[in-house]
Structure 1
Amino acid sequence: MTYESTRNTVETYFDRTATKTWERLTSDAPVSGIRATVRAGRERMRQLLRSQLPADLRGARVLDAGCGTGALAFQLAQAGADVVAVDISPKLITIAKQRQPAHLSGTLKLMAGDMFDPGLGHFDHIVAMDSLIYYSAEDIGATLDRVSSRILTNMVFTVAPRTPLLMAMWRIGKLFPRNDRSPMMVPHQMAQIAKSTSGQISDIDRVASGFYISQALEFRP
């Protein structure tokens, strides 16, 4: 699939098929045991990515690329950053706006659209939690190279690691596609990503919580 076709699939899933599921998963509402492990894993990953940026973000401009319902964007704004939070799903942005703490209104901009639109400008830091996991290594590398001139310090992002469990899930999903299933994650090794970009890729850490398995990486132009 091309980058554009994958992006369209992701948009359709989050804006039409799974809006209610993600609204519940990212809330405090009770969820099933499997989804509870995913919720816990996402929280750990959110804190891991946050730890790769300065504790005090006053004066920094930060892009939350693929912000979903806004949890990480809220944390970044709370730390003093001027945050631009973008998601491909207008419905998820609507949920994020409903959840936005009132005192963050002056430091946070939530918007639907292309998370790497050049018109968004330059940033000290970019975070992209689980928003690039559906793309090939070549597409990820091309995206990093396109955005590199607009990053002043670093970008932290996640990919699906190439583990036996994820590879088994990937093969099963490829054999038995289903319209209401999440778009297919593409498992990667860090070396694949590093070879696909002219910037510097380094490993941060991996979070594994039940069915949530995600690898955090750092990109520096």
Structure 2
Amino acid sequence: MAYSASLTSHFHFHTNTRLFSTFPPKLPTKQKATVTTAAIPPLSTAASVTDLSAEEVGGGDKEVVRNYFNNSGFQRWKKIYGETDDVNKVQLDIRLGHSKTVENVMKMLTDDGSLKGVTVCDAGCGTGCLAIPLAKEGAVVSASDISAAMVAEAKQLAKEQLAVGNGDIVPVMPNFEVKDLESLEGKYDTVVCLDVLIHYPQSKADGMIAHLASLAENRLILSFAPKTFYYDLLKRIGELFPGPSKATRAYLHAEADVERALNKVGWKIRKSGLITTQFYFARLVEAVPA
């Protein structure tokens, strides 16, 4: 979190369907008097606070998202998702938060047994941060992203990182495609969609959650920027400080709304956790058929 004293990430799981809330950390005394944009965290990995006054997407023109992640957004997030040292403190911290999300998704999946031969849809794959580790574990991955630039980068990284097998496991190259979420089809054991719902207002997110659930046979994993009083306040403060990055509007989602959307299509939340660093926060949920 922006007001945390360290870069330590926290992840908490609840195994019932009732989501829990956490209180934000208290502000250090020296930071209580003034709140500036430098102290406000990005809303998950999909948008920074300076993006919050930008054009609406998901509920408006998805070309805004496509163009952003094919151009300036691609360069920005390629660095954040990568391993280069050419990042600032905030970007490095977001990288840590995102890597924690991927790490916890992998733990969710591998805790239930081997992934060899398990079909997984990685919806909104970015540069392959999740698709590649899944392939290393033997999963059969269909990965897609709205950005052609992201998909091209993911393909290249997969070729480099999957050239060598993982012990007895021979990785299967993921099938990378340029697609938006609405265009996804087929059936998969597991569907994963990380940090994408931030582009959808709740009215659109409900339909998207239902669509993703229709593709999954056994499990659906989602991450989103949680809508709580604290995070919503940060978002509103961010809107008062428009910056040079006019890319995407960030939508927060109440945990209860996501749970309601899942319940409506016959799914229930089995695990739920909050991942936070100084400049990254995301709710991660695992849903299964009710």
Distance 1:217 1:192 in 2: 13
Distance 1:159 1:45 in 2: 11
Q: Which residue of 2 aligns with 1:47?
A: 103
1:39 aligned partner, one-letter code: R
Q: Which residue of 1 aligns with 2:123?
A: 65
Q: TM-score, normalization: structure 1?
A: 0.89
Describe the shift of the 1:37–1:6 C-alpha distance in structure 2 as closer, same or farther (beyond 3 A): farther
Q: Which residue of 1 aligns with 2:267?
A: 200
When the two structures are aligned, how many residues end up with a matched partner?
220
Q: Is the 8 A contact 1:49 1:157 kept in 2?
A: no
Q: Which one has the bigger helix percentage?
A: 1
- Measured after TM superposition, the shift of residue 179 of structure 1 is 5.8
1:111 aligns with 2:177: yes
- RCO greater where, 1 or 2, for CA within 8 Å and sep 6 or more? 2
2:100 aligned partner, one-letter code: R
1:190 aligns with 2:246: no
1:10 aligns with 2:75: no
Distance 2:251 2:84 in 1: 29
Deviations 1:129-173 (A, max 9, x none): 111122122322211222333211011011101245532332134
- Measured after TM superposition, the shift of residue 50 of structure 1 is 1.6
Q: Is the 8 A contact 2:64 2:247 kept in 1?
A: no
Distance 1:182 1:43 in 2: 23
1:220 aligned partner, one-letter code: V
Which is worse superposed, 7-16 or 164-173?
A: 164-173
Consecutive unaligned residues in structure 2, runs of 5 or more = 1-55, 164-169
Q: Which residue of 2 aligns with 1:212?
A: 280
Q: Which residue of 2 aligns with 1:28?
A: 83
Identity %: 26
Q: Which residue of 2 aligns with 1:166?
A: 231
Describe the shift of the 1:181–1:169 C-alpha distance in structure 2 as closer, same or farther (beyond 3 A): farther
Other structure's SS at 1:39 match: helix
Distance 1:178 1:105 in 2: 43
Q: Which residue of 1 aligns with 2:5?
A: none
Q: What does 1:92-107 align with in structure 2 at a 5 Å threshold? A: 92-100=150-158, 101-103=161-163, 106-107=172-173
- Measured after TM superposition, the shift of residue 220 of structure 1 is 2.7
Distance 2:72 2:95 in 1: 19
Describe the shift of the 1:42–1:195 C-alpha distance in structure 2 as closer, same or farther (beyond 3 A): same
Which is worse superposed, 155-164 or 80-89?
A: 155-164
Aligned alpha-carbon RMSD (Å): 2.2
- Measured after TM superposition, the shift of residue 105 of structure 1 is 7.2
- In our comparison, the structure showing a higher alpha carbon Rg is 2
Q: Which residue of 1 aligns with 2:166?
A: none
Distance 1:2 1:220 in 2: 29
Q: Which one has the bigger strand percentage?
A: 1
1:144 aligned partner, one-letter code: I
Q: TM-score, normalization: structure 2?
A: 0.69
Distance 1:96 1:165 in 2: 35
Deviations 1:107-143 (A, max 9, x none): 311111123524x411000111111122122322211
Q: Is the 8 A contact 1:159 1:187 kept in 2?
A: yes
2:239 aligned partner, one-letter code: K
Other structure's SS at 2:154 match: helix
Consecutive unaligned residues in structure 1, runs of 5 or more = none
1:169 aligned partner, one-letter code: L
Distance 2:280 2:173 in 1: 31
Distance 2:192 2:225 in 1: 16
Describe the shift of the 1:180–1:98 C-alpha distance in structure 2 as closer, same or farther (beyond 3 A): same
Other structure's SS at 1:84 match: strand
1:111 aligned partner, one-letter code: E
- Measured after TM superposition, the shift of residue 102 of structure 1 is 4.2
